[in-house]
């Protein structure tokens, strides 16, 4: 199965290479792409700089793909991978206890994975995850928050074999005047919706991190589906 991928960058990237990314990205070192051209346009620019929408093709047959949206996973598996690769503010004891519990019970073995597909934790969405760890929002609210703004999924080649399969197609200029406005509007909208939902009253069936810890909730718990 062949897919078209897009990568937003300040540069034209004809030859992405294994080991060239940052180790502290969401899923560790890899080449962070999207199947949505418009999303790559937003990622390509900053407030003061233009960029490029780089397009690639990749043949996925024979590659080991880990889809974190599959039925066997829940959002806590995604969050646990973030905990392994990103730096969270764990000032509160509850957040530290939550981290240790998730790492013990929701860890995903992705060492031999060629490609990971899952949510993207940009600044706003990373903050939503951190609020959950600190007990400020429920599991239901976290799941809802990750769908705000319709960020879509990241498609991340991670292995040498996956990088060998990448074929550069083209690079299209992305102007900050167009794309940064769209990026800011998406982020602002997501934050506004998030704070509106956070101010709502707690539901009787809401599951907070302290309940997960006290009850020993595990991945097969139906409340996580």
Give per-residue pLDDT as tens, 105-156.
999 999 899 999 998 877 777 788 889 999 999 999 988 887 765 667 899 9
Overall average pLDDT of the 15-38 stretch: 89
Per-residue pLDDT band for 96 (boundaries 50, 70, 90) equals very high
Kindly report which listed range (19-23, 89-93, 172-176) carries the lowest average pLDDT score.
Answer: 19-23
**CA distance to 35, 37, 176, 194, per residue, from 181 (Å):** 21, 16, 8, 20
Q: What does pLDDT average to over the chain? A: 91
Q: Quick: pLDDT tens for 2-24.
A: 999 999 999 999 999 998 877 78
Overall average pLDDT of the 187-214 stretch: 87
pLDDT at 149: 57
pLDDT at 63: 96
Strand order in the sheet with 153-157: 65-67, 115-119, 153-157
Nearest Cα neighbor of 111 from 30, 32, 15, 167 is 30
CB 114 within 8 A of CB 157: yes
Overall average pLDDT of the 148-173 stretch: 90
Kindly report which listed range (7-11, 167-171, 188-192) carries the lowest average pLDDT score.
Answer: 188-192
Percent of the chain topping pLDDT 90: 67
Q: Quick: pLDDT tens for 45-68.
A: 999 999 999 999 999 999 999 999
pLDDT at 106: 98
pLDDT at 88: 84
**CA distance to 43, 95, 119, 121, 123, per residue, from 69 (Å):** 22, 24, 8, 14, 21
Per-residue pLDDT band for 210 (boundaries 50, 70, 90) equals very high
Give the whole-angstrom CA distance, residue 25 versus residue 94. Answer: 24
Annotated domain spans of the chain? 2-218
pLDDT at 105: 98
Q: Where are the beta strands (DSSP E) in the chain?
A: 2-9, 51-59, 65-67, 115-119, 153-157, 167-174
CB 85 within 8 A of CB 111: no
Q: What is the DSSP letter of 223?
A: G
Kindly report which listed range (36-40, 75-79, 200-204) carries the lowest average pLDDT score.
Answer: 200-204
């Amino acid at each position: 199965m062949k897919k078209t991928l897009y990568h937003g960058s300040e540069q034209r990237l004809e030859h992405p290479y294994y080991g060239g990314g940052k180790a502290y990205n969401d899923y560790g070192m890899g080449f962070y792409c999207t199947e949505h051209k418009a999303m790559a346009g937003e990622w390509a620019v900053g407030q003061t700089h233009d960029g490029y929408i780089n397009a690639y093709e990749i043949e996925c047959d024979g590659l080991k793909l880990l889809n974190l949206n599959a039925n066997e996973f829940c959002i806590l598996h995604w969050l646990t991978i973030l905990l392994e690769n990103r730096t969270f503010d764990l000032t509160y004891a509850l957040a530290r206890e939550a981290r240790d519990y998730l790492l013990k019970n929701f860890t995903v073995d992705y060492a031999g994975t060629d490609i990971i597909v899952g949510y993207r934790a940009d600044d706003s969405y990373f903050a939503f995850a951190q609020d959950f760890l600190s007990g400020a929002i429920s599991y239901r609210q976290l799941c809802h928050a990750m769908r705000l703004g319709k960020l879509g999924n990241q498609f991340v080649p991670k292995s040498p074999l996956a990088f060998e399969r990448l074929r550069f197609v083209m690079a299209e200029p992305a102007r900050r005047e167009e794309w940064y406005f769209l990026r800011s509007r998406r982020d602002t909208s997501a934050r506004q919706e998030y704070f509106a939902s956070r101010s709502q009253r707690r539901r009787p069936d809401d599951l907070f991190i302290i309940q997960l810890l006290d009850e020993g909730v595990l991945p097969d718990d139906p409340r996580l589906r």
